[in-house]
Amino acid sequence: MANAPHRGGDKREDGLALDGTALVWRHLSVAPAGVPQPVLTDASGEIPRGQMVAVVGPNGAGKTTFLRALVGLASFRGELWVHGEPWHRARWRIQMGFQPPAATFVGQTVEEEMAIAVATRAARTGEPPPDRPKLDGELRRWMQTVGLHVPVNRPVDALSGGEMAKLAVAGALASGADILLLDETQAELDPGARADMRAVFQGLARSGRTILLVTHDMDDVLAADAVMVIREGTIGKPMPPRDFFYGWGERVPCDDLGFQAPYLVQVARDIRAATGADFAPLSEREFVEGWRDAVAGAIRRGGARRNSSAVEHLV
């Protein structure tokens, strides 16, 4: 990595602004461990703090390799900054979740697992290890943050898949990480547990953490603040999910990649085509409000008469 002198908050001579960013990379080339040929070449981009970013792309595009580079498990060339600091100084702020989470647990029980995470943080920061009441309080706080409601003495291998996923995130937070990388860690969960985890990630993003979620699940993309497409050796600029699902002109990134849009988006596209309205909802609430406006607008413009069968069908 290039060794440019820098302190967080500065703006460099080349105009690179690091304020408010969780990750910045410039001219990054990444190769999996032991592989001479890079999978990603000369990539530049950034991710602001406090966002949940869905990372999507075809199989073998380099999503995992990119995430592994961020935690030092794949070699890279180029510049990488973490919260405005050179990567080698601030890499501890990044933690990657693996699948299955159970494979990475060290403790026997929930309590042990969390205590180890807290001890790891204390060792790194030099803070004194918390006494028993403090540890209990912290443990409860992290479990509350991720919505993990189980007795603390439960063995980790007795947890459900959803509970394990939550414990892995709670442990990462307790260890001091505030940039979480999740590589299809939700793939094995049932729809309810996935929805739960999505809500956890959204909550963490709102509280200033940054989440990179590699996923093939379009409902994750719908819930994200931004979508980053990795394909053909390149990392795309993060885009709003609205652009990903509704596109610009003829091109719709979701369709280009061969993903099936969520049902809500499919129906909204039909309404858009039938009414000509600028109708691009990402949630049920936006759908209901936008649908009302779209149909009312179409009726006002007489579009409903021209497209009467389509609108009647939608109504």
**Which residue, 49, 176, 182, is CA-closest to 104?**
182
Q: Give dist(CA 103, CA 219) in Å, integer.
A: 26
Q: Residue 62 or residue 171: which is nearer to ligand ATP going by CB?
A: 62
Which residues would be at the binding site for ligand ATP (CB under 6 A)? Answer: 32-35, 39, 57, 59-65
Q: Residue 184 or residue 196: which is nearer to ligand ATP going by CB?
A: 184
Question: C-beta of 152: minimal distance to ligand ATP in Å?
Answer: 34
Q: Residue 66 or residue 287: which is nearer to ligand ATP going by CB?
A: 66
Listed in sequence order, the DSSP H helices in 149-240 are 161-174, 191-206, 218-223
Question: C-beta of 25: minimal distance to ligand ATP in Å?
Answer: 16
Q: Residue 17 or residue 35: which is nearer to ligand ATP going by CB?
A: 35
Written as one letter, the residue type at 146 is V
Question: C-beta of 56: minimal distance to ligand ATP in Å?
Answer: 9
Question: C-beta of 231: minimal distance to ligand ATP in Å?
Answer: 9
Q: Give dist(CA 78, CA 83) in Å, integer.
A: 17
Question: C-beta of 289: minimal distance to ligand ATP in Å?
Answer: 35
Q: Give dist(CA 148, CA 165) in Å, integer.
A: 9
Q: Give dist(CA 25, CA 80) in Å, integer.
A: 4
Question: C-beta of 202: minimal distance to ligand ATP in Å?
Answer: 23
**At what angle are helices 161-174 and 191-206 packed, to 10 degrees?**
20
Q: Residue 32 or residue 276: which is nearer to ligand ATP going by CB?
A: 32
CA distance readout (Å), 114 to 10, 95, 170, 175, 285: 36, 15, 8, 9, 37
Q: Residue 39 or residue 54: which is nearer to ligand ATP going by CB?
A: 39
